[in-house]
Chain A
Amino acid sequence: MARIELCNLEKSFGAVKAVKNLSFTIEDGEFVVFVGPSGCGKTTTLRMIAGFEDPSAGEIRIDGRVVNDLEPRDRGLGMVFQSHALFPHKNVAQNIEFGLRMKSVPQADRVKRVREVADMVRISHLLEKMPNQCSGGEAQRVALARTLVTNPSTFLLDEPLSSLDAKLRRELRAECDRLHQTLKRTFIYVTHDQEEAMTLADRIVVMRSGEIVQVGSPMEIYSNPANYFVADFFGSPSMNLVAGEVVQNGTSTRFRSSWFDFALPERFKAATPGTATLGIRPEHVQVHVGTKGDIELPVRLVEPLGKDTLLYFDASNDRAFVAVTEGLGMADIKVGERVALSLDQHLTHLFDTEGRRVNTA
C-alpha cells in the first residue's frame, strides 16, 4: 500500500525555482507518469519523493505519514535510474542480491528471491555476468530486478528507457506495463517522451517550468489539451497549430489566418474576437484529391510510413501543416501538387492569446 501525497512542494536551487508549489496525490496502485520538457522539474520532484533532495517547502506524505525527514532507505521505495546505476564491481546476481543483504535476509532466501525476480524479468541467463558485459537493455532489466527484489511499495523510475534504442524501448515499455499489472504496486515514472507517457500511464502529469500544467488520463490529455503547450507536446506528429484571429461575422464565427478562412463550429460561438490559435490533429485533417475542401495547399513533403502516409503542406508560416492518411494511397502525390483539405469541425481546438483553451460553450 502506498498513497503518496505531495503538498505545496517547492524546491529551489539557489535563485532557481525548480519546483513551484506542487500539490498532487498519487493513489495506491496507480501508474502515474510525470512528463515534460527537460528542466521542467519532473526529475527533481521524483528525487524529492525518493529522499535524495530535501524540499525547500511543503510536505511529502506516504500513506499519511510525513516522510520529509526520513532517509531514502526508510521510505520503502524502489528506484530505477536513467543510467541503470548498477554496481560495476559486482556481478548481476550480487547486484540483485544487494538490497536483500542490506535487509539481512538469510542466504538461502536470498538465492531463492534472486532466482524468482531474474525469471520475472527474464535475465536468469545473465546472473554470473558482470554489468559491463550486459547490453543496455539487459542492464536496465537487471536494474529493474534489483529494485523488484526488495519488494518496494512504490517504484520510482527516472527516465529508465531514454538510453535505449527505439525497439528496446518499446520492448521494455511493455515490460514495465506487465510488471505494473502483475505487482499492482504504485509506479511513478518520469519521462520526456510523450509516447511513453501515453502508453504507460493511468494518469499523466504534464509539467512545465516547475508547475503542473495538466493532469489527466492519456485520452483526456490527448483529446482535450488544457493549453497550447500540452496540445503541442502530445502527439506525433504534433497538432497543427495555426495562428490567426477569431472574427464575429454577423451570425457566424470564423477563424481567419493569412492563408486560411474557416467557419468555426457552433460550440465556439461565444469565443471572444481577436488573436487566437486554431489547433487540429493531423489525423483529423481529410485529404481530397480533385474535390473542394476547406483549404487548398501545395504538398511540400510526402512520408510514406507503411501503415499510413504523412503529408506535409506548405503553409505561409514556418511550420508545415501536416495530414495523416491511412495506407499508402497518397504516397504517390507529387511534391508541389495542390491538394484540398477539410478539417473535422468537432475535433478542432481553439486557444486564446495566453495559450489557454477556449472552452466550448
Chain B
Amino acid sequence: MAMTKSRRRRITALVRYAVLSVWGVIAFFPIYWIVSTSFKLDTQWFAWPPYYFPSPPTFANYMNVWFGAEEYAQTQYAISSQKPLISLYNSTVIATTSTFLSVLFGSIIAYGVSRYRILSEVRMFQLLVLRMIPPIVIVAPLSLYYTAIGLIDTRLGLILVYFLTTLPYAVWMTKSFIDEVPREIEQAAEILGASRWRTVFEIVLPLIRSGLVATFLFILILTWSEYLLALIITKTQVTTLPIELSKYQGSTEGRVYGRQAALAVGITVPLMIVGLIIRRHLARGFSFGMVRR
C-alpha cells in the first residue's frame, strides 16, 4: 500500500528528530557530566557503575575550590587557598579591559576603513593574516621582550597582548556593521548641521550598537578562555582562570575531578550570564543585516 503524503511527512519528521536527539545527547552529555560531577561527593567521581545523578548533591567541591573553606580544606583533596578567586579577579580585569580596548580602537579603525579607506583591501587582509600566525610562534620572543621591559607576569602585559591580538577581529567585525549603515544617512545628518563627531555618536553608534555588543562578547570569550599566552607570559604573580583550571590536571594532587568540574562550571557561568544579559543584541548583531534602509 502506498504511503500517504501526510504519513510520509510524519515519518520523515520522526527520523529527523531521532537523529537530532542522538546528536543532542552526544553534544550535551559532556557538559552535563561536568555539571553533575561538580556536585558529586569524592567517592562518586570514579565510581563504577557511574552515578549519573549526584546523590546526595553537595556543594563541597565549590566551597573548597572557590572559598577554600576550612572544613573542606582539611580533606585529602583540598588544594586551595582562595587562589581561584584571585584568578577570577585577574581574569575579569584582564579580559574586560583588553576586550573593551579592542572594540574601542577596532571600531575607530573600522570607521576609518569603511568611510575614508585608511586601509586598502590588501592591508585589511594583512591585518587578518597577522592573526593567522599561531600564538606559540610569537610567545617566546614576546616573553623575552616582556622580561626586558618588566611586563612579564603583570596584568598590564597580558592586557596589552590580548588587546593587540584581538584587534584584527574587532576591526573586521565592526567594519562589517559600519558598512551596513548607508552613507546617505550620515550625509543627511551632515547637511542638517551635524559635525562629524556628532554624526558618529548620534547616528552611527546607535545603529551599530548591536554589532558592537556582539563583537564585544565574541572577543570577551576569546580573551576569557585564552590559555597559551597566559601560561607563558604570566607565571606566578598573575594567573587567570584557564591557568588555574589546568593546575588540577595531572597535578600532584591526582585526579580531583569534582574540584576541577566545580572550577570549570565557575569559569563558564560568568560568560553565560553576560550572554544572557545581552541576548537581545546578539540575535540582531550576529544576523549582520541589521540596519533597515
Residues on A with C-beta less than 8 A from B191 are 50-51, 72-73, 75, 77-79
Residues on A with C-beta less than 8 A from B206 are 89
Instruction: Write the B68-95 contact mask toward A (1 if CB under 8 angstroms, else 0).
Output: 0000000000000000000000000000
In the bound complex, CA of A50 to CA of B187 (Å): 10
Which residues 47-100 in A have Cβ within 8 Å of B in the complex?
Answer: 50-52, 71-73, 75, 77-79, 81-83, 85-89, 98-99
Let me know if A132 is at the binding interface, CB within 8 A: yes
Q: With A83-B293, A87-B203, A88-B291 as known contacts, state yes or no: A73 contacts B188, CB within 8 Å.
A: no
Q: With A89-B206, A102-B192, A132-B292 as known contacts, state yes or no: A81 contacts B198, CB within 8 Å.
A: no
Let me know if B121 is at the binding interface, CB within 8 A: no
Let me know if A150 is at the binding interface, CB within 8 A: yes
Let me know if B254 is at the binding interface, CB within 8 A: no
- Contact call A102/B198, Cβ cutoff below 8 A: yes
Let me know if A125 is at the binding interface, CB within 8 A: no
Let me know if B128 is at the binding interface, CB within 8 A: no
Let me know if A208 is at the binding interface, CB within 8 A: no
Interface residues of chain B, those whose CB is within 8 Å of chain A, are: 182, 184-185, 187-195, 198, 203, 206-207, 291-293
Residues on A with C-beta less than 8 A from B185 are 85-88
- Contact call A83/B192, Cβ cutoff below 8 A: no
Interface residues of chain A, those whose CB is within 8 Å of chain B, are: 50-52, 71-73, 75, 77-79, 81-83, 85-89, 98-99, 102-103, 131-132, 143, 146-147, 150
Residues on B with C-beta less than 8 A from A73 are 190-195
- Contact call A103/B193, Cβ cutoff below 8 A: yes
- Contact call B192/A146, Cβ cutoff below 8 A: yes
Q: With A102-B198, A132-B292 as known contacts, state yes or no: A85 contacts B187, CB within 8 Å.
A: yes
Task: Name A72's contact: one of B187, B203, B291 (CB within 8 Å).
Answer: B187
In the bound complex, CA of A26 to CA of B293 (Å): 32
Residues on B with C-beta less than 8 A from A150 are 192-193
Residues on B with C-beta less than 8 A from A99 are 192-193
Mostly, the B contact residues are helix
Chain A residue at smallest Cβ distance from B193: A102
In the bound complex, CA of A146 to CA of B192 (Å): 8
CB proximity of A96 to chain B, nearest CB, Å:
10
In the bound complex, CA of A89 to CA of B203 (Å): 8
Residues on A with C-beta less than 8 A from B182 are 83, 85
18 additional contacts, CB 8 Å, given A81-B188, A88-B292?
A50-B191, A71-B190, A73-B193, A77-B191, A79-B188, A83-B184, A86-B185, A86-B188, A87-B185, A87-B203, A88-B291, A98-B192, A98-B194, A99-B193, A102-B189, A132-B292, A143-B188, A146-B192
In the bound complex, CA of A156 to CA of B104 (Å): 36
CB proximity of A92 to chain B, nearest CB, Å:
14
Chain A residue at smallest Cβ distance from B186: A85
In the bound complex, CA of A88 to CA of B289 (Å): 13
In the bound complex, CA of A182 to CA of B195 (Å): 31
Q: With A102-B193, A102-B194 as known contacts, state yes or no: A85 contacts B292, CB within 8 Å.
A: no
Task: Name A88's contact: one of B189, B194, B207 (CB within 8 Å).
Answer: B207
Residues on A with C-beta less than 8 A from B293 are 83, 88
Chain B residue at smallest Cβ distance from A73: B193
The 6 closest A-B pairs by CB, nearest first: A102-B193, A99-B192, A85-B184, A85-B188, A72-B191, A73-B193
CB proximity of A73 to chain B, nearest CB, Å:
5
Chain A residue at smallest Cβ distance from B195: A73
In the bound complex, CA of A237 to CA of B203 (Å): 44
CB proximity of A255 to chain B, nearest CB, Å:
49
CB proximity of B290 to chain A, nearest CB, Å:
9
CB proximity of B202 to chain A, nearest CB, Å:
8
In the bound complex, CA of A131 to CA of B185 (Å): 13
Residues on B with C-beta less than 8 A from A89 are 206-207
Residues on B with C-beta less than 8 A from A87 are 185, 188-189, 203
CB proximity of B33 to chain A, nearest CB, Å:
45
Residues on B with C-beta less than 8 A from A75 are 191
In the bound complex, CA of A72 to CA of B190 (Å): 7
Residues on B with C-beta less than 8 A from A78 are 191-192
Chain B residue at smallest Cβ distance from A78: B191
Residues on B with C-beta less than 8 A from A51 are 191
CB proximity of A112 to chain B, nearest CB, Å:
18
Q: What are 16 contact pairs spanning A and B, CB under 8 A?
A: A71-B190, A72-B191, A73-B192, A73-B194, A79-B188, A79-B191, A83-B182, A85-B185, A85-B187, A88-B185, A88-B292, A98-B192, A99-B192, A102-B189, A146-B188, A147-B192
Chain A residue at smallest Cβ distance from B181: A88
CB proximity of B10 to chain A, nearest CB, Å:
39
| Interface core residue of B184, B190, B192, B195 (most chain A CB under 10 Å) | B192
Residues on B with C-beta less than 8 A from A82 are 184
Chain B residue at smallest Cβ distance from A47: B187
Chain A residue at smallest Cβ distance from B196: A71
Residues on B with C-beta less than 8 A from A102 are 189, 192-194, 198
Residues on B with C-beta less than 8 A from A50 are 187, 191
Residues on B with C-beta less than 8 A from A71 are 190
In the bound complex, CA of A86 to CA of B192 (Å): 12
Q: With A87-B203, A88-B291 as known contacts, state yes or no: A81 contacts B184, CB within 8 Å.
A: yes
Residues on A with C-beta less than 8 A from B187 are 50, 52, 72, 79, 81, 85
Residues on A with C-beta less than 8 A from B184 are 81-83, 85
In the bound complex, CA of A271 to CA of B282 (Å): 74
Residues on A with C-beta less than 8 A from B198 are 102
Residues on B with C-beta less than 8 A from A83 are 182, 184, 293
In the bound complex, CA of A71 to CA of B195 (Å): 9
